[in-house]
Every structure is written in structure tokens, then in C-alpha cells.
């Protein structure tokens, strides 16, 4: 299995252009939020709702993602726990708006992916996930690792 540093370095190879990086700082969090929003909107079995109103497919995905991150890096995973809590709070808030969560999430998802592809056109390199779908999970921790680097926090 590749190390977290290996994954981050390989991901970074196709994210060198400043405009592409900038677009990723905007679009990766929006894609995560919108994906969770769409999953949150998928009906769950009644037994889930009885356990908790927050037990839904979005939460299950987030918990599975956290397990993945804990396997990769304890420090990055701890940061992702905080970002996951913020994601849950924001998606739950958007879910209370008059426009259905799935509609908002789908619109944001499409626009954010367009932004990602524009960034890669500018970069002149294909998105990493074309090589390995795991890179879809690396994007968020690649951004977090940049914050850690500025703060002097080891990954």
C-alpha cells in the first residue's frame, strides 16, 4: 500500500498551476459538500431514522471516509473529523432550506466539477482520478495537508 506522502505527492503532480490550485481550493470542498448533500437526500430504511435523524447515506459515507483517512494518517484524519463535523452542520442547515437539498447539491456538484475540469484544462494534465479512483478521496486531504504544512503540523 502506498504511503499518504506518496498519494499526496502523486496527486500534487497534476496540481502545479496556480489557477488550477485555486480552483481546487474552491471546488474540492464544494464537491464534498454537494456529494454528501446528495447522499443525505437518498431515502433510508425506517430503522435508520428510528436510531437517529442524522443516520443517512451521507453520514455513512463520511464515517467510511474517516476510517479510510485514519488508515492513511492519524493527524490528517483528526483534521478531517473537524471538517466532517462542519460538513454535517452545513448540510443539515441547507437541508432546512425551502429548496430541496438534492437540488442545491446537484447544482453545486455540476458547477464544481466544471470548475475542476477547467482547472485541469489550464494545467494541461488529466485529473488524477482517471489513473486511480482513490484520488477522489485524496483531494480533501491534499488541501488539508497544505494547511498542516503552513502550520508546521506533521502529516
- How far is 44 from 22, CA to CA, in rounded Å? 36
User: Tell me, what's the pLDDT at 144?
Assistant: 98
* CB-based contacts of 146, cutoff 8 Å, min separation 6: none
User: Tell me, what's the pLDDT at 67?
Assistant: 97
User: Tell me, what's the pLDDT at 127?
Assistant: 84
User: Tell me, what's the pLDDT at 17?
Assistant: 95
pLDDT in tens, the chain (155 residues): 689 999 999 999 899 999 999 999 999 999 999 999 999 999 999 998 889 888 999 999 999 999 999 999 999 999 999 999 999 999 999 999 999 999 999 999 999 999 999 999 999 998 888 887 888 999 999 999 999 999 999 99
Ramachandran region, residue 125 (left: φ > 0; alpha: ψ -120 to 50; beta: rest): beta
User: Tell me, what's the pLDDT at 85?
Assistant: 97
Q: Compute the half-sphere exposure of residue 129: CA atoms within 13 Å on the CB side of its CA.
A: 13
- How far is 14 from 86, CA to CA, in rounded Å? 28
Give the chain's domain count: 1
Domain membership of residue 129 as a residue range:
4-151
Amino acid at each position: 500500500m502506498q504511503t499518504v506522502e506518496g498519494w499526496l505527492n502523486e496527486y500534487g503532480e497534476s496540481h502545479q498551476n496556480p489557477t488550477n490550485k485555486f480552483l481546487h481550493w474552491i471546488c474540492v470542498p464544494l464537491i464534498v459538500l454537494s456529494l454528501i448533500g446528495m447522499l443525505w437526500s437518498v431515502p433510508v430504511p425506517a430503522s435508520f431514522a428510528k436510531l437517529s435523524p442524522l443516520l443517512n447515506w451521507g453520514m455513512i459515507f463520511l464515517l467510511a471516509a474517516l476510517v479510510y483517512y485514519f488508515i492513511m494518517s492519524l493527524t490528517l484524519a483528526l483534521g478531517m473529523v473537524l471538517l466532517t463535523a462542519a460538513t454535517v452542520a452545513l448540510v443539515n442547515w441547507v437541508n432546512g432550506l425551502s429548496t430541496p437539498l438534492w437540488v442545491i447539491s446537484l447544482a453545486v456538484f455540476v458547477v464544481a466539477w466544471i470548475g475542476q475540469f477547467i482547472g485541469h484544462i489550464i494545467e494541461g494534465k488529466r485529473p488524477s482520478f482517471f489513473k486511480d479512483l482513490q484520488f477522489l478521496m485524496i483531494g480533501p486531504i491534499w488541501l488539508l495537508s497544505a494547511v498542516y504544512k503552513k502550520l508546521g503540523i506533521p502529516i
